[in-house]
């Protein structure tokens, strides 16, 4: 039997939709951020995937900093009571930080599959070859 070939799917499209990076059909997640053990459509084992803290890092750098900057601006400009922060700042932080985690994790997992990422290894240096002797002039 001939092995099946899979189309090259965009890691951005499959990851953001939470779909299998190989077939684009099966679901990637079992819950909010927990990866399934394998794709139910094509059987791809997701054990290769290790996005670690990547999604949290991207959310912190690109979303949390502006959201917390709003909180600081509000505090310094108006010095509101604590309840004002609970009503304004807390929802802004939660609504801008939690929803992007899943699509970012999906994108990172799909990118690992697409680019065949694996754990880095130190390469052994190649031995230096001696230069070829020059021919003596006649």
Whose CA is closest to 9, among 25, 27, 26, 22? 22
Does this model's pTM top 0.85? My answer is no
Q: CA neighbours within 13 Å on the CB side: how many for 86?
A: 3
Sequence-ordered strand ranges (E) for 1-138: none
Supply the pLDDT for residue 43: 94
Per-residue pLDDT of the chain in tens (138 residues, 90 and over written 9): 667 889 999 999 999 999 999 999 999 999 999 999 999 999 999 999 999 999 999 998 888 888 889 999 999 999 999 999 999 999 999 999 999 999 999 999 999 999 998 887 887 877 777 777 776 666
């Amino acid at each position: 039997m001939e092995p099946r070939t899979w189309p090259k799917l965009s890691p951005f499209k499959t990851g953001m939709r939470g779909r299998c990076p190989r077939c684009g059909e099966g679901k990637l997640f079992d819950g909010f951020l927990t990866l399934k053990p394998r794709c139910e459509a094509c059987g791809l084992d997701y054990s290769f995937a290790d996005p670690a803290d990547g999604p949290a890092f991207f959310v912190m750098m690109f979303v949390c900093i502006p959201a917390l900057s709003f909180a600081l601006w509000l505090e310094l400009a108006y010095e509101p009571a604590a309840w004002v922060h609970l009503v304004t700042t807390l929802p802004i932080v939660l609504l801008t930080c939690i929803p992007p985690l899943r699509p970012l994790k999906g994108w990172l997992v799909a990118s690992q599959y697409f680019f065949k990422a694996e754990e880095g290894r130190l390469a052994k240096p190649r031995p230096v070859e001696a230069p070829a002797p020059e021919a003596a002039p006649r």
